Every structure is written in structure tokens, then in C-alpha cells.
Amino acid sequence: MIVGVLGLQGDFREHLQALERMGVERRDVRTPEALQEVDALIIPGGESTTLSKLMNMYGLTPVLQKQARKGFPVYGTCAGAILIAKEVEDGKPQGLGLMDITVARNAYGRQLDSFETDLNIKTIGKFHGIFIRAPKITRCGSGTEILAEQDGDPVLVRQGAMLAGTFHPELTHDSRVHEYFLRMIG
Ligand code: GLN
């Protein structure tokens, strides 16, 4: 299995390093051609409007939407979670509409732009959550499963082969969330 990481903007290098530490075959994905060569895609944290623009410019949006609708696995972290959501609360950016969740960008307010806290993730257990200008997942559709919450808000949600998380496991040296994603997609 080859795992792709969208390498247009954001902390894609940290995801590639996490996969490297796990000994997983990986590729930096920037084009529709590169997307065809991987078995799953991680969309990193970064700036979601920029990421969305770049994905459109590189012609990745329609190709990824088509693949994901056929069951291609996607894991979005932070900005990536915003991009795979069906709805973004102020309408920007227009996401890929892959997962039946609604997100609100930068929803933790300015003074709490960034924080770290211990989470309790289903089947994983205690995990150090790093939140950086994180969005909140404000609605989860009926086909989704909430794997972790923080103060009552979902922070890790699964739907089929898709995973959305508002924190950054790639910034820790703990690969259990990445491993969970790989197990999930077999
Ligand atoms: N605040 C960013 C956005 O709305 C996401 C932050 C992140 O990915 N760490 O795009």
C-alpha cells in the first residue's frame, strides 16, 4: 500500500515523516497523475482556503471527489478536515464535500488559537492532541462515528474509509492515529 500526502501547502512534510517512521511507502501528491498512484490520501493541516485554491489550480478537486465517492480512503487533519467536510459554516472555502460533517473554522477563538490537551480516542486510548487554530466539527451526519471528543465537541470522526481530525498527530511522535487510519482501510 502506498499512502499519498497532499503536498501543495501546510505541514505535509510532518505527515510524510510520520509515515516514514512507520515504515510505510509514501508519496507527495501534487497532481492528478500522482493521485492515481496512491491507495489513500492524507490532507494535511495548513490554510484551507489556500489549499482549496491550489487543489483547484492543479486539477485535483474533481479527480479526488470522483475517487473518494468510489471509496478511496482520505484522512483530513485540521485544514484537511475542513476540506473534506460537506459544509463549512461561513461557506468558505468551498470544500470537497466528501464527509457528512459541518465544520466551523477557527472556532476556538483568538486567545485559544492553539492548545494541547489529552484526548481519549476510541480503541486507541489516551492521545496527546495538538490543536492549532483548529476548526470545530459542529454537525456529524448519521453515517459517521465519533471517535474522540474534547469538551463535548467531536475532534476525530470516521465515515466509511474517511477520517477527519481537528488535531495534529503528525506533530507528535505517536503514530497510533495514522496506524488507525491504515488499519481502517485494510
Ligand atoms: N485555521 C486553518 C484554516 O481555517 C486551519 C489550521 C490548521 O490546519 N492547523 O484553514
Q: Single out the residue of 127, 121, 135 nearest to residue 184, CA to CA.
A: 121
| Mean predicted confidence (pLDDT) in 84-96 | 94
168 catalytic residue (yes or no): yes
Q: Band of the pLDDT at 139, cuts 50, 70, 90?
A: very high
To test the pocket of ligand 1, the residue of 75, 83, 133, 136 to mutate (highest count of ligand atoms within 8 Å of its CB) is 133
Per-domain boundaries in the chain: 2-185
Q: Which pLDDT tens digit goes with each residue over 2-60?
A: 999 999 999 999 999 999 999 999 999 999 999 999 999 999 999 999 999 999 999 99
The beta-carbon contacts of 15-20 under 8 Å, at least 24 apart in sequence, are: 15/42, 15/44, 15/77, 15/170, 15/178, 17/170, 18/169, 18/170, 18/175, 18/178, 19/178
CATH placement of domain 2-185: 3.40.50.880
Q: Band of the pLDDT at 134, cuts 50, 70, 90?
A: very high
pLDDT over 90 (residue 113) = no
128 catalytic residue (yes or no): no
The neighbour count for residue 87, using CB atoms within 10 Å, is 16
Ligand 1: residues whose CB is within 6 Å?
A: 45-48, 78-79, 82, 105-106, 132-133, 135
Residue located nearest, by CA, to atom 8 of ligand 1: 45
pLDDT at position 125: 98
